[in-house]
Amino acid sequence: MHAAQREQLIIEMLVERGFVSFPELDKRIDASPATIRRDLEKLENSGRIIRVRGGARLARAEDVEPDTGHLRGVPFHENLSRNRPAKEAIGRAAAQLCRSGDSIIIDGGSTTLQMCPYLAPLSLHVLTNSLHIASALLPQQNTSISVPAGTVFREQNIILSPYESDGTEGYRASRMFMGASSVGSHGVMQTDVILVQAERRLIGLADELVILVDSSKFEAPTGHAVCSLADIAVLITDDRITDITAQMVERKVGKLIVASN
């Protein structure tokens, strides 16, 4: 088993369980104990896991300084123009999943933002952590907008909190619409652990998770695992997705939607 395969298996086990013991890893992974320890050390140095007594767990927002005011990853204004036609098609397809009067969650992102122009007639209740999305929805008189408590991260213009209580605890949504820095067989990934923690909390408030990613995200570097592909009810991407990737996604997610430009 190659190093990349071992690391992927470790992340998949942690996404499923949150914690995995060293004896479990030794049993599942075809490698020596010394090799597994080196794999864990590499994953910990990359910020994806935390080694604890007896095993390892996924990195959480509490493991980083909560008040830095900065996130890893591409700033929002740079992402907005990347693959714009594909993102617009994906956003239009995502909006078609909404029904009049729905309560939904729209996570901050340059692709999820593209949903907004199509939501005005639906009288939705929207919880969003994105100031860009809140601003885009403000002119829609029949759209109710809620935002969580927390710190504004300027690069992405989103509100995040490393704490459990952010004012969203009582909110319930039919769907959560979320982007990602990358998607692969290992799951849905983001570049920053504080974003991961916030998104996991929001996912828990929704009946279904809908992922919006343009096809370039299947080729992007991995990061911190938010959830597995099995947690996704619908994944929406553009028509440049390869046949091999589409087949992999269809095997693991509830439904794949390919939006045409």
Domain map (residue ranges) of the chain = 3-59, 76-259
Confidence (pLDDT) at 196: 83
Residue type, 237: T
**Eight-class DSSP state of 69:** -
Give the pLDDT score at 140: 97
Distance CA 170, CA 185 (A): 32
d(CA 96, CA 77): 26
Q: What is the DSSP letter of 111?
A: T
Q: What six digits make up the tokens of 91?
A: 């956003």
Q: Which helix (H) or strand (E) holds 198?
A: helix 193-203
Q: Looking at residue 64, what is its pLDDT?
A: 47
CB atoms within 10 A of CB 259: 20
pLDDT at 67 (0 to 100): 44
The CATH fold assigned to 3-59 is Arc Repressor Mutant, subunit A (1.10.10)
d(CA 85, CA 74): 19
Pull the structure tokens for residue 12: 């998949």
pLDDT per position in the chain (261 positions), as tens? 678 788 878 887 887 777 888 888 988 898 898 999 888 988 887 667 888 888 888 775 445 444 445 555 556 566 666 788 999 999 999 999 999 999 999 999 999 999 999 999 999 999 999 999 999 999 999 999 999 998 888 777 899 876 667 888 889 999 999 999 999 887 898 887 778 878 888 999 999 999 999 999 997 766 778 898 999 999 999 999 999 999 999 999 999 999 987
Closest CA relative to residue 90, chosen from 235, 243, 226: 235
Contact assessment for residue 172 and residue 205, using Cβ atoms and an 8 Å cutoff: yes
Q: Is the pTM of this model over 0.85?
A: no
3-state secondary structure of 159: strand
What fold does the segment set 76-259 form as a domain? Answer: Rossmann fold (3.40.50)
- Predicted confidence at residue 66, as pLDDT, reads 46
CA 210 remoteness from chain centre: 10
